[in-house]
A and B are shown apart, each in its own frame.
Chain A
Amino acid sequence: TCQKVSHKLLLVNPDPGYIWNVRRELIPFTELHTELQLTAASLQRNPKAYGAWFHRKWCIRHFCRSNADSNITQEVLDKELQLCTNFLNIDERNFHCWNFRRFIVGALASNLLNIDILDGSWEVFIKGLFKGSNEKPPTLLLMGPQLTYPSGKVATVPDETIENGSNETRQLLIAVLRNEWTFTTQKIEQNFSNNSAFHYRSKLLPLIWVVGRNNHDDDNIQDILTSEFQLVRNAFYTEPDDQTSWWYHRFLLDFCKPSATTADSELSYAFYRDALQTEREAIQDLVETEDGQCKWGWITLHAIVSRMRELILIVNENCIAIDFQYSNLPLLRQEAEECLKKLIEIDPDRMCRYQDMLLDLTGQ
């Protein structure tokens, strides 16, 4: 039969999409657990097969939507989270698996809210998290759909549907979010050199912040950010040449920067000023410990003093009442130049970039 042949073929080679297509055409004649077993076995052989991951998502969506019992769906999805954990223990950078995990999280949220949308996007999840709060969610498009519905059907969630959810549901959604946050923490603690975990964390942080804002037991954003900086500092003190944590550090610097909407609330100019200074001192120490042979330290110092200059200019322009311990603009600019000159010396492969940046500086 088609099922037997396709099963055999896919176990050996899960890449051909058209064979998975055949199995999907036969879906009325099979069960979820058969498809889950087949995709899991294929993925053990080739954990990066696009076709196998897609088939698994498609089948989960198909069966969960046609199954009326949300407890069964919950069980299925919990097992899928465990599968992700297992696969990520084998290869913590497998982006297919990270994407699959985010698909499952979206599905968990939809199931909790009894909403029939399982496309991998977090629109439902985020609306549910912010239900009843005065806050606008940072963005609905945090995670986009990974599989769509047959053409012609647009999957949108009427806000009223979410409005009717209970507060208990909202707490469950927050627990799902926190579980993801904790998962990234665990992966990072297992191995700092996990850009995939840090990437996910960069997406979760804005949600953690705003959700925490409405929950008085939670840390406020300054404390969260302070401990985030601590986390990355531990990482790059341990392995200064591993670029992973430095990228996340850059994300944190950008995140701290006050914008028009947050400037007068918790992420103030004063907090940003202090964060920049703290990081500058910490990294100057590291660079000294490394005898100046710390490329990423110099890159980050350049970024920090550039942001300091930019902050001072903004504050002066807008007559914002804060003080600066170090406000000598020409001196800061000189420091920026010194960083670039040092980089040309110790990172010659990328010297043209640093030379371009020096030209930009002199043009300012």
Chain B
Amino acid sequence: MEENQEDPPFFDNLHESYITSLAAKLDAPTSYEGAVTEHLRMSGVYWSITALSLIRSADEVDALMDLTGSIVDWVFKCADPQTGGFGGNIGHDGHMLYTLSAIQILAVADRLSDPRLDKNRVLKFISSLQQPDGSFCGDAWGEVDTRFSYCAISCVSLLGALVPGISSDDKQPPGIDLDKAVHYVASCRNFDGGFGCVPGAESHAGQIFCCVGALAIAGALHLLDDDLLSWWLAERQCDSGGLNGRPEKQADVCYSWWILSALSILGRVHWINTKKLQNFILQCQDDVDGGIADRPQDMADVFHTFFGISGLSLLGYFKAGEGESDRVYREIDPLYALPVDVVQRLNLTGQVISETINPTDERLGKYDVISRGGNINISK
């Protein structure tokens, strides 16, 4: 890719048609891509409707995807009666990852009050997966990963059950031990300020989003070193303008989300070159069939389409005046990875770091704000 190329336009209509034609494409019996992603369809649906929700109004999304009808019906079919969680597809075992995606879809669809949703059952599933050290498993088979800490904390918050200080002894409603959960996340901190899958694992931008997001939702950002981590995240920007996930790895559009959301929470988006990143994301678009790929010239997929559009949103690309003039664009919330209006409708709580909150920055203005550098020093 040449340096200093002009920004391609944002192919708004192409992305709409890419997203809306996904279901038919993937559900076709001969679809290889559909077959190999069938197990994560719940997350796939979450990525597609949330991406579409950023560039279309709620009514338009419902009209295009039948979100409140067939999609919500399908989500409930994926509930796992044995565990109380949600599986990635119908008949699949419940898992933390797909439980979060399911709840997120219901949140966007404004169907968290649907009588088919047994909130207590879901909360029980989540709290049953918390370990004595505060960590979370993905399911009863026992895999531990900080991704699941994020899923648990976010899910509990979305279900309106996030109560600081509650311990797992309390029966009603089934809760998680938030204090232990955040201290476990903090124990995954490395010397470079980043976080890995478990204590001892290498810092990785994806895990960092999960840990920063978890701490932000829980109001515990003081447990990380925001200066150090923000610097490490800023150094993910490559010459191409794209971001990588670890030192000396290739840039990938998905890191536009993992890193930009973390930097938003930490109040340091200005520590990278936002113009160059914007250009990189726009270069990753498929200008024929729509969708966004991991890097320029590669094949698009819904995962990278979601993270690319979300990244552009966090960069402020969709403010009025950019893109199609009569479009209603929505912004994405960096803690919950949901449209801001959804977060506000649900009155979700969280914390961010900032020196000043611009009073017109609706996206973050309702959160609890703490200032830079209020961190705990790591002892040797």
Contacts and interface: CB of A to CB of B under 8 A. Distances in A.
B135 A17 contact: no
B270 A243 contact: no
Interface stretch (B107-115, B192-200, B282-290, B317-325): B192-200
A138 interface: yes
Given A18-B88, A195-B246, A259-B380, A142 B199 contact: yes
A15 B272 contact: no
Nearest to B247: A195
A322 interface: no
A145 B249 contact: no
A334 interface: no
Interface stretch (B137-145, B295-303, B305-313): B137-145
Interface residues of B, number: 55
B2 interface: no
Given A18-B88, A202-B190, A352-B270, A145 B141 contact: no
Contacts of B31: none
B93 A122 contact: no
A309 interface: no
A85 interface: no
Q: Is the interface of B mostly helix, strand, loop or mixed?
A: loop
B363 interface: no
Given A93-B246, A353-B271, A251 B39 contact: no
A352 B276 CA distance: 14
Contacts of B141: 21, 24, 54, 58, 147
Contacts of A141: 187, 199
Interface in A235-278: 242-244, 247, 250-251, 254-255, 257, 259, 261-262
A202 B88 CA distance: 37
B87 to A, nearest CB: 7
B36 A99 contact: no
Interface in A111-149: 120, 122, 138, 141-149
B92 A154 contact: no
Contacts of B133: 144-145
Interface string B316-360: 000000000000000000000000000000000000000000000
Nearest to A252: B191
Nearest to B235: A243
B234 A353 contact: yes
A241 B334 CA distance: 31
A54 B143 contact: yes
B38 interface: yes
17 contacts: A13-B35, A15-B36, A15-B39, A17-B88, A17-B139, A18-B93, A58-B141, A141-B199, A143-B200, A144-B133, A144-B200, A146-B197, A196-B202, A247-B192, A247-B247, A261-B380, A350-B235
Given A145-B135, A259-B379, 16 more contacts: A16-B39, A17-B39, A17-B138, A93-B246, A99-B197, A102-B201, A147-B141, A148-B135, A149-B142, A151-B129, A199-B203, A206-B380, A254-B380, A255-B380, A349-B273, A352-B271
Interface of B: 35-36, 38-40, 87-88, 92-93, 95, 128-129, 131-133, 135, 137-144, 187-188, 190-192, 196-204, 230-231, 234-235, 237, 246-249, 268, 270-273, 276, 379-380
Interface of A: 12-13, 15-19, 21, 24, 50, 54, 58, 93, 95, 98-99, 102, 120, 122, 138, 141-151, 154, 193, 195-196, 199-200, 202-203, 206, 242-244, 247, 250-251, 254-255, 257, 259, 261-262, 348-350, 352-353, 356
